[in-house]
Amino acid sequence: MSQQNQLDPLEKLLSIDGIQSECDATLKAIDELMWDRTVRRHQESLIPYTRRIAGFATAALDGAQMPKDPTMEPEVSPMGSLSDQGLLITAEADLQTLAFKTEPLKVLARLHTFVSTDEDRGKPRTSNEVSDPLRLSSLPPHEVLQERLAQLVDLILHSKAPAILIAAIAHAELATLRPFTQGSYLVARSSTRLILASRDVDPGGLVMSEYGAFLQGRPAYVKALTGYMLGTQAGMLAWIQWQGNAIRQGIEMAKQLAEMADTNK
C-alpha cells in the first residue's frame, strides 16, 4: 500500500460522526497541558516521575500490581518482572522518538527485546500461539503479519490524519494483531507514546496515556478493542473515544502532580 498511489485510509475514518471532534478535543487537552504554567515550571522533574507511573500502569494492565509509590522498585517475583518490563519499555520508548520517525518497525522490535528473553525477541511470531493476558478473541494468523505490519508502517510514516487518530489506530492494530508471542500489549501501548512524541504533539512524554488506560480498567480496554475488531463505525468510534479518554485522564494526573509539586516546593 503506497500513500503516493492511494488516498490516506484514515481520512475515511474522519468522516465518521464523532471521530474528528474526539481527536480535536484530545489535541486541545494536550495543548493545554503543554502550555500550563505550573506544568512547565516542574516539567524537568515531572517527566521521569510520570514515566515511571506510565511504566507501572502499562504492566498493571497485563496483570501486575500498580504501586502506591511509583518511586519504589518492583518486587522480585513474576509480577515484579512484568513491572520491570513495563518500566523498561516505557523508558526506552522515550529514547527512540527520533528513530521512530524513519524506522518505526525497527523501534517496535527493539522495544520487544525488553519484554522477552526468548530467541525470537524482536521478531514477529511464526505460529498462532501467543501469551494473551487480555484474552482477546480472533487472533490473526501469523501469515498475515508481514502485510499488516507493512500497512501499519505506511500509515505511521505517511498519514496526514491527526496524530491522535494515528496513535489510536496503531495501538489497536498492534494490540489486536499481537505480532509477538508475548509482550504485544506492552509494545502496543508504547506506540501511543512514540507517535505523540515523534509528531511533536507530546515531545516530553507527559501525557501518560498508559495511566489513563489503567484508570479505565481492563474490562473497558478489552471491550473497546473488541469493538475495534468488529470494524463497524460504532466500534471504531468507541475505540477512538476510549483512546481519547485514556489520554485525557493521563493529562489530568500530570496536572495534579504539577500542582502537588508547586504546593510542596
CATH class of 9-264: mainly alpha
Residue 224: its pLDDT value, please?
98
Residue 3: its pLDDT value, please?
42
Instruction: Write out the DSSP string of 29-83.
Output: HHHHHHH-HHHHHTHHHHHHHHHHHHHHHHHHHTT----S-TTSPPPSSHHHHHH
Burial, 71: exposed, middle or buried (Cβ in 10 Å; 0-12, 13-18, 19+)? exposed
Residue 196: its pLDDT value, please?
98
What contacts 77, CB < 8 A, 6 or more positions away?
A: none
pLDDT, one tens digit for every residue, the chain (265 residues): 344 446 788 999 999 999 999 999 999 999 999 999 999 999 999 999 999 999 999 999 999 999 999 999 999 999 999 999 999 999 999 999 999 999 999 999 999 999 877 778 899 999 999 999 999 988 999 999 999 999 999 999 999 999 999 999 999 999 999 999 999 999 999 999 999 999 999 999 999 999 999 999 999 999 999 999 999 999 999 999 999 999 999 999 999 999 998 888 6
- Three cell numbers written together for 85: 518490563
Residue 117: its pLDDT value, please?
74
Separation of CA 60 from chain center: 14
Q: pTM of the entire structure?
A: 0.95
SS3 257: helix
Closest CA to 192 of 108, 70, 136: 108
Q: Report yes or no: 105 and 153 within 8 Å, Cβ to Cβ.
A: yes
Q: Where are the domains of the chain?
A: 9-264
The C-alpha atoms of residue 106 and residue 95 are separated, in whole angstroms, by 13
Residue 121: its pLDDT value, please?
86
Residue 2: its pLDDT value, please?
40
Q: Which residue type is seen at 158?
A: H
